[in-house]
């Protein structure tokens, strides 16, 4: 297996996994965030502590969980606490370093929507809803977001603000009294976006190999800007790809082929 | 004092039309058998409460049991959408469903407040979210000591909470373990508590800090082996992921859904018969 050939989805997962530092306490959503967080745990971050909202703390699943409450999350965890305890004592208690989220829609200030497409009272598409995301986005020390980039998902205006990033930008988040730093990176299948230090607008900080700027611009519903220094994302190493593919292979074998929904959010 | 009864009696005695009913179980220990029995007994106008509606509330909503739903995440976990839940919200089918939409942290807190006999729950939450704009039950208060702005929501105090657990003893003390979700809080917040269990044993043999609901907070216990299927019971059986995936095809279309529910729920006498009927059917989604 070489690192020459990989999918944009693999690039996204690998790039997101790299953002998770070893030893961090990470409150992780199901789907793409869980894939990236477990890839990090099996690679450069063996001491990361993964918390799922089902109350499993220090989960070390050998295959990716299909649901947020799979049995292996419980049996591989350091401890399993109740839902009130995981949200009240651990998240609200300030004991979570990183929240790892996905979303259906995101805006330029990294506010996210997982609630509805269309009007709330007469939605075009009813999405699952908030789950744990509003408090994870507000209270985790910092937030990582992973999602596919398209003009439909990267929108000028969210249909619904489920969970906050930087609100209207600038110091709006701090003024709202939100304790966490908010999103530090949004990792997509095209690039890595980071908030501008002053305006808090998401700017392209790193472009994945083979991606051209017009592709990013077409996949963004607002006039996207670039950081003053734009780097090229390192392609997945053979080791990263091997670990990811092996994880997905074990997962498919455990849940049945096609079992892992990579797009659901918690 | 818990009465050990059949599931049919437990639901008939404890769940009434118009009740606020919570069926809890966070992916694990979802009380499917009890939900089916509510459908069989044709309960109507229920105010349903559940963090994650899951397939069980998809079934109850689609069969017209619910007038209202309090929830925080309405997907088919790991498998897709809840089509009956969506059809009710998007198209008022089979009738309009009032929704009281919250976050997980909020519902968990609101059960804690309910169990603690408090009128409301207080938490750090919802700042900047649109949810309070559309749900007037989510409000903000000022801390009388620090002036901090905090979210307040009404306690959840169900008329009836139904949970599934691994074991009960013959007095009706209930033991559960694994992912516990909000079951203990939802039970202690309720007026009446119905518990289905995998088995009834002479001795629970629970370690001192185990999650035990004492018999005098439980109204009725019914032994329903496999009663959490297609979710799972740690130590007994695993989640049937194939069923969760097959549910997408069963539930997407109204007629297919109704036909399936008629045949599998309304025309079966109990959960054992439902399981026996499913036994011969491939759930791999490859039937067509």
Q: Is the pLDDT of residue A260 over 90?
A: no
Residue B33 lies in a domain: yes
Q: Note the pLDDT of residue A261.
A: 40
pLDDT band, residue A266 (cuts 50/70/90): very low
Chain B positions touching A164 (Cβ under 8 A) are 127-129
Residue B111 lies in a domain: no
Residue B199 lies in a domain: yes
**Are B193 and B77 contained in the same domain?**
yes
Identify from B22, B27, B89, B186 which residue to disrupt to test chain A contact, counting A C-beta atoms within 10 A and taking the largest count. Answer: B27
**Are B150 and B252 contained in the same domain?**
no
For residue B241, what is the nearest residue in chain A, using CA coordinates?
A: A255
Q: Note the pLDDT of residue A68.
A: 85
**Are B9 and B55 contained in the same domain?**
yes
**Are B35 and B166 contained in the same domain?**
yes
**Are B163 and B142 contained in the same domain?**
no
What is the residue extent of each domain of chain A? 8-255
> How confident is the prediction for chain B on average, in pLDDT?
95
Q: Note the pLDDT of residue A259.
A: 42
Q: Is the pLDDT of residue B284 over 80?
A: no
**Are B247 and B135 contained in the same domain?**
no
CB B201 within 8 A of CB B38: no
What are the tens digits of pLDDT across the range A232-251? 999 999 999 999 999 999 99
State mean pLDDT over B113-142: 97
Model-level pTM?
Answer: 0.95
**In terms of pLDDT, which residue wins out, A82 or A30?**
A82
pLDDT band, residue A255 (cuts 50/70/90): confident
In A45-64, the residues whose Cβ lies within 8 Å of chain B are 53-56
Q: Is the pLDDT of residue A5 over 80?
A: yes
Q: Would you state the structure tokens that stand for residue B74, as one six-digit string?
A: 């309405």
The highest-level CATH class for domain A8-255 is alpha beta
Residue B9 lies in a domain: yes
Chain B positions touching A117 (Cβ under 8 A) are none
Residue B110 lies in a domain: no
- Cβ-count burial A68-92 (b if 16+ within 10 Å, e if not): bbbbbbbebbeebbbbbbbbbebbb
Query: Of B86, B74, B6, B73, nearest to B40 (Cα)?
Result: B6
- Between the CA of residue A143 and those of A54, A90, B155, what are the distances in Å? 19, 16, 29
- Range in A1-15, A120-134, B246-260 with the lowest mean pLDDT: A1-15
CB atoms within 10 A of CB B200: 14
**Are B176 and B232 contained in the same domain?**
yes
Q: Note the pLDDT of residue B280.
A: 54
pLDDT band, residue B286 (cuts 50/70/90): very low
In A139-168, the residues whose Cβ lies within 8 Å of chain B are 139, 160-164, 167
CB B128 within 8 A of CB A167: yes
**Are B63 and B76 contained in the same domain?**
yes
The count of structural domains within chain B is 2
State mean pLDDT over B236-255: 95
- Between the CA of residue B228 and those of A138, A184, A210, what are the distances in Å? 34, 40, 48
Which letter does DSSP use for residue A202 in this model? Answer: E
CB A233 within 8 A of CB A15: yes
Beta carbon pairs, A and B, within 8 Å: 189
- Between the CA of residue B48 and those of A198, A256, B12, B54, B116, what are the distances in Å? 45, 33, 17, 12, 21
**Are B64 and B8 contained in the same domain?**
yes
**Are B137 and B259 contained in the same domain?**
no
Can you spell out the DSSP letters for B172-183?
--EEE-SS-TTH
Residue B287 lies in a domain: no
User: In CATH, what number is assigned to the domain containing residue B96?
Assistant: 3.40.1080.10
Range of the domain at B258: 3-101+157-279
CB A137 within 8 A of CB A182: yes
Model ipTM value: 0.94
Q: Does A264 touch chain B (CB under 8 A)?
A: yes
Q: Is the pLDDT of residue B288 over 50?
A: no
Q: Does A96 touch chain B (CB under 8 A)?
A: no
Residue B107 lies in a domain: no
Residue B77 lies in a domain: yes
Q: Note the pLDDT of residue B229.
A: 97
> How many CA within 13 A on the CB side of residue B258?
5
**In terms of pLDDT, which residue wins out, A265 or A216?**
A216
Helix B83-91 and helix B241-251: axis angle, to 10°?
Answer: 30
Q: Is the pLDDT of residue B188 over 70?
A: yes
Can you spell out the DSSP letters for B171-214?
T--EEE-SS-TTHHHHHHTSSEEEEEEEEEES-----TTSEEE-
Share of chain A above pLDDT 70, in %: 95
**Are B96 and B190 contained in the same domain?**
yes
Identify from B50, B55, B105 which residue to disrupt to test chain A contact, counting A C-beta atoms within 10 A and taking the largest count. Answer: B105
If DSSP codes are grouped into helix, strand and coil, which group holds residue A2?
coil
Q: Note the pLDDT of residue B279.
A: 84
**Are B52 and B141 contained in the same domain?**
no
What are the tens digits of pLDDT across the range B15-50? 999 999 999 999 999 999 999 999 999 999 999 999
CB A191 within 8 A of CB A233: yes
Q: Is the pLDDT of residue B168 over 80?
A: yes
């Amino acid at each position: 297996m070489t690192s020459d050939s990989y999918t944009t989805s693999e690039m996204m997962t690998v790039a997101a996994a790299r953002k998770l530092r070893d030893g961090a306490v990470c409150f992780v959503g199901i789907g793409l965030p869980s894939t990236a967080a477990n890839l990090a745990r099996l690679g450069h971050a063996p001491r990361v502590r993964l918390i799922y909202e089902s109350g499993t703390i220090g989960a070390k699943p050998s295959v990716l969980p299909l649901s947020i409450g799979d049995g292996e999350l419980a049996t591989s965890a350091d401890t399993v606490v109740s839902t009130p305890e995981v949200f009240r004592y651990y998240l609200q208690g300030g004991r979570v370093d990183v929240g790892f989220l996905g979303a259906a829609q995101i805006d330029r200030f990294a506010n996210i929507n997982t609630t509805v497409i269309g009007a709330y009272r007469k939605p075009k598409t009813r999405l699952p809803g908030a789950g744990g995301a509003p408090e994870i986005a507000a209270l985790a020390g910092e937030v990582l977001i992973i999602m596919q980039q398209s003009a439909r998902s990267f929108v000028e205006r969210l249909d619904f603000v489920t969970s906050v990033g930087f609100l209207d930008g600038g110091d709006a988040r701090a003024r709202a009294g939100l304790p966490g730093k908010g999103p530090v990176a949004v990792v997509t299948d095209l690039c890595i976006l980071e908030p501008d230090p002053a305006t808090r607008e998401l700017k392209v900080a790193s472009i994945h190999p083979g991606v051209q700027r017009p592709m990013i611009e077409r996949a963004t519903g607002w006039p996207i800007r670039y950081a003053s220094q734009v780097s090229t994302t390192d392609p997945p190493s053979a080791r990263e790809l091997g670990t990811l593919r092996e994880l997905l292979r074990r997962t498919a074998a455990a849940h049945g082929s096609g079992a892992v929904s990579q797009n659901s959010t918690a | 004092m818990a009465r050990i009864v059949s599931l049919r009696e437990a639901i008939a005695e404890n769940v009434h039309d118009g009740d606020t009913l919570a069926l809890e179980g966070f992916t694990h220990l979802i009380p499917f058998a009890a939900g089916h029995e509510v459908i069989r007994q044709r309960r109507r106008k229920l105010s349903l409460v559940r963090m994650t509606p899951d397939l069980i509330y998809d079934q109850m909503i689609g069969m017209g049991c619910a007038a209202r739903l309090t929830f925080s995440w309405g997907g088919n976990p790991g498998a897709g959408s809840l089509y009956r839940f969506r059809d009710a919200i998007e198209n008022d089918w089979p009738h309009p469903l009032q929704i009281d939409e919250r976050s997980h942290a909020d519902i968990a807190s609101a059960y804690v407040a309910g169990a603690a006999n408090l009128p409301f729950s207080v938490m750090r939450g919802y700042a900047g979210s649109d949810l309070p704009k559309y749900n007037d039950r989510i409000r903000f208060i000022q801390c009388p000591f620090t002036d901090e702005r905090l979210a307040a929501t009404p306690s959840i105090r169900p008329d009836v909470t139904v949970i599934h657990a691994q074991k009960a003893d013959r007095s009706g003390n209930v033991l559960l373990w694994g992912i516990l979700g909000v079951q203990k809080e939802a039970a202690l917040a309720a007026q009446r508590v119905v518990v289905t269990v995998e088995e009834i044993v002479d001795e629970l043999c629970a370690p001192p800090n185990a999650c035990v609901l004492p018999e005098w907070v439980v109204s009725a216990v019914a032994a329903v082996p496999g009663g959490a299927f297609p979710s799972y019971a740690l130590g007994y059986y695993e989640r049937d992921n194939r069923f969760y995936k097959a549910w997408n095809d069963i539930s997407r279309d109204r007629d297919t859904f109704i036909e399936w529910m008629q045949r599998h729920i309304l025309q079966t006498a109990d959960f054992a018969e439902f399981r026996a009927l499913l036994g011969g059917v491939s759930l791999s989604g490859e039937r067509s």
